[in-house]
Structures are given as structure tokens and as C-alpha cells.
Amino acid sequence: MLESVKIQRRQSEIRSALSELVGKDKPTEDETRSMETLDAEYRQNEVRYRAALIAEDTERRDAGEELETRGDREYADLLRRFEVRQVALHYDEGRQLDGATAEIVQEMRSKGGYRGIPVPLAALEQRVGETVASGTPDPVQTRPIIDRLFPDSIAGRMGGQVISIDFGDVEYPVATSAVTAGWAATETGNVAGPTAFATTDRAMVPNQNLGIQMKLTRRALKQSGAGLEAAIRRDMASTIAAELDNAAFNGAGSSGEPEGVLTNSTYNITSTAASATWAGFRSAVARFMSANAVGSPSMVKVAIAPATWDTLDGALFDEGSGITELDKMLKHIGEGNLTISTHMTDESESPDAHSALLTVTKNGVAPFVVGIWGGVDVIRDPYSDAASGGLRLTGLLTADVAVLRPAQLEILTGL
């Protein structure tokens, strides 16, 4: 019990005792001395009470910080113990979820509607100790499952931010007003008149649903055991990451897909033609720096197609020294700010069209964001593969892409 609470209780007892003594017309000497003693103790306790509140204030703040962060730490511990294998066994054998898996599923269902079993995205990450090279102990020593190949994610490398949304729409108010400053022309003249401060809302709505279908054969379920969980998580996580990455840059903006940055049908991102030389990129970077008040070219992130990298590295900037156009670019842009990705190639055209993308993060604002609503809703199809004893899982994920400030991006075409 806190010391201040103990003092409060004692003060209440003293007041009660004093009220009985004060009510007497002719108190005895003992009762008078008792009143003096209680009065002195009451005044002393008032000082102790104030001191106790001051001392306990720090303890309350420390306890409050502990309570604020304890929930996040406990939930992170539960996520590390989440088993996707239990989801597969629940659909295959009707096994009940238990432990941390059951707790997380119950928590996610309380926050959003899921037709199947919800799986948090964090649970799809590779766990400590899992490697593709580790074998799965089986009677016939079936070797580990070899994962599929997926392109590396570049959304994060280009400054894109992934945000988690529980439910509902999310809007980002972005300032669009051109507030200007002006000097007074004369000693008594007025400065520039007031300019209205305007904002535009960048909305993210849960209209786009991404589906991942996975067919598990009966042999895989019986043979791989716990090793199947790691393979399922790696495969689902890689599939989701690859498709979200593609949607962030090349999403059609129709047929259920969010609009990508390079599609640029409504974002009004500056798009200019450039040559696959350092001079062409240098002029584009200079314009981009002026538009965003960027102080150094090393703050600009650049994404190019593999074919553009081939052209830049194959063309000599200075024949005498052997310096290529790519060497000149890396000197000013920095190797860490250059990304090579197939997302910059449009294979629908003949010959393939190649683009480049310039981005910058200013004042902590990302050039574009990818919003994800909740986790992955895993649903079982009990009929399609019933004859073979297989299991078909469908993972549904709701996501959207939004460009917050188009000025922080620029598209270069014709490379």
C-alpha cells in the first residue's frame, strides 16, 4: 500500500476521534492532552502526506511508462510463438488452436471481421534459427524445401513507408497553399497580404484485396511436419511482398489493383524524357533538387532498370581514364541510393520501355505509403482437393497505395 494512502486513513481516524472529543462541554485533563496530541499529529501528517505525494509521483510515472510498453512487449513475445502450422493442421485435421496462436487469433478477431483464421503479417517473417539449408528430419531424409525466386523489394529502399491500419479510411492532409512573404515598400507601407492556408487530403481506402492461393498435398502435410510451417511462411511472405512491391510501382489503378507510382494517371507526378547518360540524369537530379529544396544530390534516391544499368556501365565517360557513365553517377548519387529493379521495365511494349524514378524523403514525410488493413485472413477450401486429401488455403490481404506529395517523385522515361 502506498504511504500516502496510509496517511490518508490515519488522518481520517484522527478527525473521527477529534470530533468525539470536541463535542464534550467539559473534557477532562486526559481528554484535553489527547486533543493536543491528535492535533499535533494531524499537522505533522499533513506535511508527510505532501512529501509522500511528491515521492510517489515519480513512481507513478515510471509505473505508467511500464504499463504503456508492457502490452507491446507481451504481444511481440506472443507473435514470436505464433505457429502457422497450427492453422494448416486446424484446416486439415480439425485440430484446435492453442497457446500463443489461439490468443493472437482471438485478439485479431475482436478487432476486425475475418471469414477464416487471421494470421498477423509479423508471424510470416523468418524466425531465428530458420535457414533454407537446414534439413527436415524424416525417415527417408527428404531434404529441405527449396523456395521460389522473388524479386527484391525496392519500395522501402526508395523511401516508401508501410503503415498498419485497423479499420476504416485514412486521410493524410497535405499542405498545398503557396504562402508567400513580402517586404514593406515604404516605412508606413503594409507587408504582403494574407494568403489562405489550404490542404488536400490523400485518402487510403480498403477497396483493394490481394489474394494468395496455396495448395498443400497430403504428402507434404504428412512428410515435412514442422518444417512445412517455415516454408509456408516464407512463401506467403515473399508472395505478398513481391505483389505489394509491384502494385506500389506498376499497379494498374483498375481491375481491383491500386494505382502505382509509375502508372501516374491521377498523381500528376512530373514525367520527363531523359537520356541514359550521366548528363541526362544530372540535369534531372538538378531539377528535382530545386523543386524539393534538397541540399545535396546524395539525398536523392534513384531506381533504374537492369538494361539502363547495362547502358550506363558500358558507355565510357572518359576514354582515357576508363571511367564509365555509371561511375560518374555513383560518385555523386552514392551507391547506397541507387537501386536496380525490373519494376522500371515495361515489358508490354515492344521493344521494352525503360524508366527511372527519383524520390526524396523531406521532413520525415515519405514520398508514398503502402497501407495494410489488419493481417492475412487465411481461409480453407474444403472441396476443391477433397478427392486427393489435399488442402487449399487462400490468404486475403487488403492494401492500398497513396502518393502523399507528388513533388517528392519524378519519373524519367525513354531510357
Give 258's DSSP letter: P
Answer yes or no: is pLDDT of 137 > 70. no
What is the pLDDT, as a whole number, of residue 180? 66
What is the pLDDT, as a whole number, of residue 111? 74
Nine-digit cell string for 335: 551507391
Give 347's DSSP letter: T
What is the pLDDT, as a whole number, of residue 134? 45
- Residues, the chain: 415
What is the pLDDT, as a whole number, of residue 133? 43
Environment class of residue 291 by beta-carbon count within 10 Å: exposed (0-12), middle (13-18) or buried (19+)? middle
Higher pLDDT pick, 97 / 73: 97
Confidence of residue 188 (pLDDT cuts 50, 70, 90): confident
Q: What percent of the chain has pLDDT over 90?
A: 0
d(CA 101, CA 328): 53
27-31, 56-60, 83-87, 123-127: the lowest-pLDDT one = 123-127
Higher pLDDT pick, 284 / 72: 284
The chain-wide mean pLDDT, for the chain, equals 77
Q: What is the pLDDT of residues 143-177, one digit of tens each?
A: 444 444 445 577 888 888 887 777 766 666 655 55
- Percentages helix, strand, coil for the chain (3-state, rounded to 5) are 40, 20, 35
Higher pLDDT pick, 199 / 129: 199
| Closest residue by Cα to residue 234 from 124, 119, 376 | 124
What is the pLDDT, as a whole number, of residue 141? 43
Angle at 214 between CA 213 and CA 220, to 5 degrees: 170
Answer yes or no: is pLDDT of 11 > 50. yes
Mean pLDDT of 283-292: 85
Answer yes or no: is pLDDT of 197 > 70. no
